[in-house]
Chains A and B, each alone.
Chain A
Amino acid sequence: MSFSQITTLTASGLDMTSDLARVISARSNILEMTQDAEDAVLRPSDYGAFPHDLRAALAARIARRSNDEKLAVHYEVAAGDYAALARPEVSGEEQGLTTVLSIVDLVANAPKDISADHIAALQSAGISDPDIVRLCELVAFMAYQIRVVSGLRLMQGETA
């Protein structure tokens, strides 16, 4: 896998010929597995209740709420009919996803405030346990990717 195929690196704006690119190539296994993880949460073959376009919309929404417009735009292009959800102010009422979105927003932005009641609310909204785990993995992966991208930008001397 070349560095240009790894979203985490392209979104960070890394110059692939720079000294920093040479340094981090010592961790190319980690960078490649990071891309594999992105593929697993954004485009899994067993997507459960969350098709790929909805996942892309959620990823874009999470990136946007984290002020990462570049990453948001990257995911938004694959959001299809769910593109509206990539805007944080959209509640998801039209799509019947208000509970899912409110909990996605909380896990993404204030995970310390999540309690058992939130998981019970997802179950009451008809989300199966496997789908709750799938949703959580998507949001959790995005938290990781956003922070690796942000860190790489800081290392290049940019404001993240």
Chain B
Amino acid sequence: MTRIVHKFTRRVPDWQPRVKPVDLAEATPAQLDALKVTPSNTKVSAYVLTLAHDVESLSVRSPLFNAIMYDKGGMSREERELGALGASMVNRCIYCAAVHADRHAKLAKDESVTDELFANGANAKLSPRNRAIFDFARKSAEAPPASDQQDIEALRQVGLDDAEIFDLILSSALFGWANRLMHVLGDPVRQEPAPQKVSA
């Protein structure tokens, strides 16, 4: 039985597309080429096969995504995950929030930050640095973006330099993009055993 997941969780669900993904057996040479540049090239996910319908976008988005989240220097990977999570929570992308909360917890070796965020959202009790980062990401994800000069000032006050602030802008903005694919084109689901029939 398939159940749609509606609550934020660090336990990463499956993703079920709302449109028919590209059939790998029928993929064009351009699609096959683009599918290679994704991080998981052994087993192609339903998500990537769905995005392969627009192969020109997929080909540029995968390396861009990796550069924003993983390139060296600037903001720590852990804090970029917090930027990704802030946007994903505003946009209610349960799948993205799960993946990036899980990565944050693993990189930080600490589940308490994401536990607190999932329990209390914008009112979560956070360290001053995490507070400034999360608030910027959260407000930037609003439509139109609601972050302002004071949010930038708050980031500088907790010690972020311009390179780190720019990385935060990029990682939170990137999830404005990713959430609008993941949350729009499919559902976060879990396979659960069918309820047992009780014989009379």
Contacts and interface: CB of A to CB of B under 8 A. Distances in A.
A154 B62 CA distance: 27
Contact of A154 (B20, B51, B151): B151
A110 B143 contact: yes
Given A133-B54, A137-B57, A140-B176, A114 B184 contact: yes
B63 to A, nearest CB: 6
A155 B173 contact: no
Contacts of A152: 166, 169
Given A30-B64, A147-B145, A37 B71 contact: no
B147 A150 contact: yes
Contacts of A45: 56
A157 B91 CA distance: 27
A133 B148 CA distance: 32
- Which interface class (under 10, 10 to 19, 20 to 34, 35 or more) fits A? 35 or more
A67 B144 contact: yes
B147 A111 contact: no
Interface in A121-146: 123, 129-130, 132-134, 136-137, 139-141, 143-146
A26 B163 contact: yes
Nearest to B137: A147
A147 B90 contact: no
B180 interface: yes
A140 B140 CA distance: 14
A51 B135 CA distance: 38
B27 interface: no
A132 B180 CA distance: 12
A147 B163 contact: no
B199 to A, nearest CB: 35
A28 B162 CA distance: 15
A116 interface: yes
Contacts of A136: 180-181, 184-185
A16 interface: no
Contact of B91 (A23, A112, A146): A112
A150 B53 CA distance: 30
Given A66-B143, A146-B145, A129 B57 contact: no
21 contacts: A26-B74, A26-B163, A33-B63, A33-B64, A44-B56, A44-B57, A65-B144, A68-B144, A111-B180, A111-B183, A112-B92, A114-B184, A116-B18, A139-B180, A140-B181, A140-B184, A144-B173, A144-B174, A145-B173, A147-B173, A157-B149
Given A68-B144, A140-B181, A154-B151, 17 more contacts: A36-B64, A37-B61, A44-B56, A67-B144, A108-B180, A111-B92, A111-B184, A116-B18, A133-B51, A133-B54, A134-B53, A136-B185, A145-B173, A148-B173, A151-B147, A155-B162, A159-B149
